[in-house]
Amino acid sequence: MREQFKAAMRQWHTGICLVTSAGNGGRPIGLVCTSFTSLSLDPVLVSWAVDHASSSIDAWRAAGSYALHVLPPSERPLDHPLVAAFAQRGGDKFRGLDFALNHHGDPVFPGLATRFDCVLHERITVGDHDLMIGRPTAITHPPQNRAS
């Protein structure tokens, strides 16, 4: 059943996010995420999930804030150099990257599409993942082109 499930889910194409946080002791952590979704309007909440097998699961569990960078599909997100850097397991994913810190102290990539700066609202263990529910404290996104 597990292999059938994985094969079937490969047919569902989702967006791609990069999630970044200051991590333990201020050491930046990051990962590629396809589970990002809006969760609630009142209060405004978003969610994403981190695998228990993640090499930085303990740092994610300790993180009180994080930034979610939504990559637009028009930019072929799988080809984006940050996706390659953040998809690797372990290691220093931020080595050689130019980033800033948001108001929470989390690493961010200004100008990289839409970003949600969040504080952790709740963390729930669900199966082999932790569901991270965040409350956005700031949302930035590029201006939309509107037809007149």
The pLDDT tens digits of the residues spanning 42-92 come to 999 999 999 999 999 999 999 999 999 998 776 666 778 888 889 888 788
| CATH code, 14-140 | 2.30.110.10
Between 83 and 142, whose confidence is greater?
Answer: 83
Which residues lie across from 126 on neighbouring strands? 129
- Sheet strands (E) in 8-127: 16-21, 29-33, 37-41, 44-51, 65-71, 100-101, 107-108, 114-126
Segment 26-40 mean pLDDT: 93
Contact 12, 34 (CB under 8 A): no
Q: Is the dihedral of CA 38, 60, 33, 18 positive or negative?
A: positive
Between 4 and 20, whose confidence is greater?
Answer: 20
- pLDDT on residue 148: 43
Q: Where in the chain are the domains? A: 14-140
Q: Kindly report, residue by residue over 79-102, the tens digit of the pLDDT.
A: 788 888 898 887 889 999 999 999
* Helix-strand-coil split of the chain, %, nearest 5: 20, 40, 40
- Tell me what percent of the residues of the chain surpass a pLDDT of 90: 59
Contact 16, 68 (CB under 8 A): no
- DSSP code for 43: T
Between 144 and 86, whose confidence is greater?
Answer: 86
